Every structure is written in structure tokens, then in C-alpha cells.
Amino acid sequence: MSRIGKHPIEIPAGVNVTFDNGVLVGKGKNGEFEFRVHDSVKTELKDGKIIFRPVNDDKFARAMWGTCRSVVAKAIEGLSTVFTKKVNLVGVGYKASIQGKNLVMQLGYSHDVVVEIPNDLKITCESPTAIVVSGANKQRVGEMIKQLQQHRPPEPYKGKGVIIEGQYVYRKEGKKK
């Protein structure tokens, strides 16, 4: 049985949530979201809370119960607060800057890496080697961070690359003579 699904979601002040035809729509100061609730989960709006219940007691319905509750809870949290992640560029000559609607990174290649900034995210450069990605959707923030990291993943011998703050880079010992 889902333990996370049992807890109702409190709707914070300043967030408006409606439910119609299996679609949950939320609007807040940071944007809006739309989520289609799976058919195996019942949804109720009562007294400023969203309550999820499984339609029947099979394993799939219980799994979707907890999943729907978790996704909607993070989406509602994103409407009132902003999710933020930081990335550090570690390496000689590695730096980043914002030019218009693009993030331009110099990562040791013969060319600059240009990444277009999506409309739903905000990317800033705190310093030439620190990039901050923030937005209302936690999944989109994480996807953007991983997209940036794919251009130069952390390497274990020198510890260089695009490293997410708090990420541990396993260091290996080099060849011995």
C-alpha cells in the first residue's frame, strides 16, 4: 500500500487549483501546470487540499496513486517556490557567459558550446565558472542540468568537467611507472 499517497496535498496561498475531466490545472505566481490524472486514481478537492485514492486495490492502481500524488505535490510546490540547482565548471580555461538568449560555454574544445535557454527556465552565471539554473518545474531544471553536463562530463583522473554542486566525482589513480 502506498504510504506517500495517503497524505493529502495542502494548496498554498496564492495557488489556484481546478480539477475537470481527469485533468488537474494549477496556476500560481511562478507559472502554471496541467496534469492528467491516471484513470486508476480518484481525485478530490476538499477544504484547500487535494486527496488521491486508488480506484481498486490492484498493484498498478496503488503504484499510480503514489506516483500521481508525488508529481502533483512537486508541481504545486513549484508554483509557489522556485527550484534551483548550481553547476561548477572545473578545468583550466573553462568558463561560461550569457549572450542574449543563449548560454555560451568554453569547455576546452576548439569551438564554443552554445545552449539555447528555454523560456520556462532562468539561467544565470554567478561567476565565469558557476552556472545557476532555476525554474518552477523540478524535472525541467534537472533535465537542463544533465544536458549541460553532457557537453563535458566529469572525468575521474583530473577531476575536470561540468560538475553539479554536491556531486561526488570518484577519482582514480593514474598509471605508475
User: What pLDDT score was predicted for residue 5?
Assistant: 83
Taking 60 as the threshold, does the pLDDT of residue 13 lie above it? yes
Distances (CA, A) of 10 to 5, 20, 47, 171: 13, 19, 9, 44
Judge whether 31 and 140 are in contact, CB under 8 Å. Answer: no
Compute the average pLDDT of residues 86-109.
94
Helices 59-80 and 138-150: crossing angle in degrees, nearest 10, is: 90
The structural domains of the chain, ordered by start, are: 9-80 (3.90.930.12), 83-164 (3.90.930.12)
Tell me the C-alpha distance between 155 and 108, whole Å. Answer: 13
User: What pLDDT score was predicted for residue 14?
Assistant: 87
Taking 80 as the threshold, does the pLDDT of residue 1 lie above it? no
Annotate 45-105 with three-state secondary structure: EECCEEEEEECCCCHHHHHHHHHHHHHHHHHHHHHHCCEEEEEEEECCCCEEEEECCEEEE
Number of Cα atoms under 13 Å in the Cβ half of residue 162: 22
| Global pTM value | 0.82
Give tens-digit pLDDT for 35-83: 999 999 999 999 889 999 999 989 999 999 999 999 999 999 998 889 9
Chain centre distance of CA 24: 20
User: What pLDDT score was predicted for residue 2?
Assistant: 58
Taking 90 as the threshold, does the pLDDT of residue 98 lie above it? yes
Give tens-digit pLDDT for 115-169: 999 998 999 999 999 999 999 989 999 999 999 999 999 999 998 999 999 999 8
